[in-house]
Structure 1
């Protein structure tokens, strides 16, 4: 059938979970790097590397984490809509079967 597609609700739920975890992990990693600060790692080279990375990538990774959070929210709403629609269709078929005396 042309244009046919199927939404895998469980796969969508897994994607939502994974994206949410990814956004949290990115935010957590950047916070940990920031918390190390200029004197938290005990090794000058590591402290400098953390500080350099935070300075160069912190803003961008923050934007990615925020965008990922937004995508996760949108997918969650989409999943709810598909679940509701699927429930309504199921109930409609069940009701029509009862109306036919089946």
Structure 2
């Protein structure tokens, strides 16, 4: 069973970097539109629709950020756990090597 499960800690780090990039890009897209005011666009109906969109975009971006932050925290915790297991395993193997045992082979 264990030989089918592999975790690449480097890929976890890359995933975290991508998640953080998503949040940054969402915020950049939203803030890029903040300087455009609805009253600069045209009709009152269009102005109202633009204001509503801006409010909803902001709310959606904030909710998405919260979810991405929660996922990031989970991935960070898993990454740390895998790194700790790898370090402990490395230590144990070095200890076995130093003590001259071969893990039960005779």
User: Normalising by structure 2, what TM-score?
Assistant: 0.73
**Match in the other structure for 2:20:** 20
For 1:89 and 1:53, the matched residues in 2 are separated by 53
The Cα offsets for residues 55-86 of structure 1, whole Å up to 9 and x where unpaired, read as: 23321221011211221122112111111111
**Paired positions, count:** 98
Structure 2 unaligned residues grouped into runs of 5+? none
Q: State the SS of the aligned residue for 1:36.
A: coil
Structure 1 unaligned residues grouped into runs of 5+? none
- Computed over aligned residues only, the root mean square deviation of the Cα atoms, in angstroms, reads 2.7
**Cα drift, residue 27 of structure 1:** 2.3
**Match in the other structure for 2:41:** 44
**Kept in 2: contact 1:9–1:83 (CA 8 A):** yes
**Cα drift, residue 93 of structure 1:** 0.7
**Match in the other structure for 2:69:** 69
User: Normalising by structure 1, what TM-score?
Assistant: 0.75
For 1:95 and 1:77, the matched residues in 2 are separated by 27
**Range 4-13 or range 24-33, more displaced:** 24-33
